[in-house]
Structure 1
Amino acid sequence: MGRRRLCFGGYHFEGSRKMSWRLEGTYFENCNCDMVCPCATSGLTVPADNDRCQVALAFHVDTGDVNGVDVGGLTVCVVADTPALMGGGGWKVGLLMDAAASAGQAEALGAVFGGQLGGPMENLAALIGEMAGMESLEMAYANDGRRHRVRIGSAVDMAVEDFVSPMDRTELGVKVSGIGFPADTLAAGTASTGRVDVFGMTWDNAGKNSFSAPFAWSA
């Protein structure tokens, strides 16, 4: 089997295209749709609520291994600005890497989240028109099951809470199933803070849509 040099924003990962990897943890996102984003619920076939979709997705890896590299305990954030119809492509995407990651860990996670090692991110690669790069920043990620927050240097400050209907006596919250990416079932919510300023992408999505879920990826 041949070996390929893989990269994302200047990071390189030497490895077989068929190498095995797995990541498990929690994720949340915040976009500028009003609530329950039509992009996610339609498989990217229905336009967003606005002319552009501006979204940040934060992934905290509880346990993970990429070709023998332990990546547990690290956080990664994907930031994207796309046309309203996300399935049409033309995305601008940047990757923020946890400064706590070693060079080897950053290379491994960069290859996974860049889509070069297969898995869910590979399916999005054809939609990316501009790869803005990857930056390493200090990150603080918090998750209590219903409230989720990440602070990433001066680049990202997002805090969201899963929505519980006042008519829901179970208090389990609103869930949307059959999504597929980044997990099959997502908890819907809203953001109290949704500020992004990095890679030439700047917005504030406070009060707008959020999703959260445990995720388990492998390839």
Structure 2
Amino acid sequence: MPWHVEGTYFENCNCDMVCPCSTSGLTAPADNDRCNVALAFHVETGDVNGVDVGGLTVCIVADTPALMSDGGWKVGVLVDSAASSEQAEALGAVFGGQLGGPMEGLTPLIGEMAGMESLEMAYADDGRVHRVTIGSAVDMAVEDFVSPLDPTGQGVKISGVGFPADTLAAGTSSTARVDVFGMTWDNSGKNSFSAPFAWAA
């Protein structure tokens, strides 16, 4: 049965600006020995197997080797506690890759699925500053970078990326703390990307 989700997303990792993993299609190594990354997706509208999933947030946290294409990722999924059991199951299947779509291509790289937890989430996005707080597990705020040499003020964009969207806004984090699924880090001051996203399968 066809499904679709769309909304806004942002991520933070421990690479310096700009992360070589995403911009190389996972073919260039990260700036550090391990890549620690969290991706927050706010679904504005969506339908998965007849279940309305609009207005809900999902966060994926992962610890991977520097060269992400080597696989062996440790991944956990956090789902908005506002979701019903049916909505949580539907979102888990989309963002876990079981229903096809963009996440399906990443599943062979996962070595350990750390689990899925339901937590209270607060997501905010004003177009340039993006923030999510997820219980005591995630506190992440990033801002898209605007070059002082750019008279348009549109911000730095990177196109041709493909996942999770074709064009990403580059930026940095002001806060980026994660403590969940045995993964703990503070990536404040490090790389961020953000974009609208629209997935379907």
Normalising by structure 1, report the TM-score: 0.92
Using the TM superposition, give the Cα deviation of residue 176 of structure 1 relative to its aligned residue in structure 2, in angstroms.
0.2
The secondary structure found in structure 2 opposite 1:203 is strand
The percentage of counterpart residues that share the same residue type is: 85
The secondary structure found in structure 2 opposite 1:29 is strand
The secondary structure found in structure 2 opposite 1:168 is coil
The aligned counterpart of 1:201 is: 183
Q: 5 Å matches for 1:85-124? A: 85-124=67-106
The aligned counterpart of 1:138 is: 120
**Paired amino acid for 2:31:** D
Q: Which deviations, in whole Å up to 9, do the C-alpha atoms of 1:57-98 show, x marking residues without a partner?
A: 000000000010000000000000000000110100000000
User: Is 2:54 aligned against 1:76?
Assistant: no
The aligned counterpart of 1:165 is: 147
Q: Matches of 2:31 and 2:187 in 1, distance apart?
A: 13
The secondary structure found in structure 2 opposite 1:154 is coil
Q: Matches of 2:128 and 2:69 in 1, distance apart?
A: 29
**Paired amino acid for 2:183:** M
**Paired amino acid for 1:77:** C
How many residue pairs match? The answer is: 201
Larger radius of gyration: 1
Gaps of 5+ in 2: none
From 169, 176, 193, the counterpart of 1:211: 193
Q: Which deviations, in whole Å up to 9, do the C-alpha atoms of 1:29-62 show, x marking residues without a partner?
A: 0000010100000000000000000000000000
The aligned counterpart of 1:34 is: 16
**Paired amino acid for 1:47:** P
Indicate the RMSD between aligned Cα atoms, in angstroms.
0.3
The secondary structure found in structure 2 opposite 1:206 is coil
**Paired amino acid for 1:34:** D
The secondary structure found in structure 2 opposite 1:182 is coil
Normalising by structure 2, report the TM-score: 1.00
**Paired amino acid for 1:82:** T
Q: Matches of 2:155 and 2:47 in 1, distance apart?
A: 32
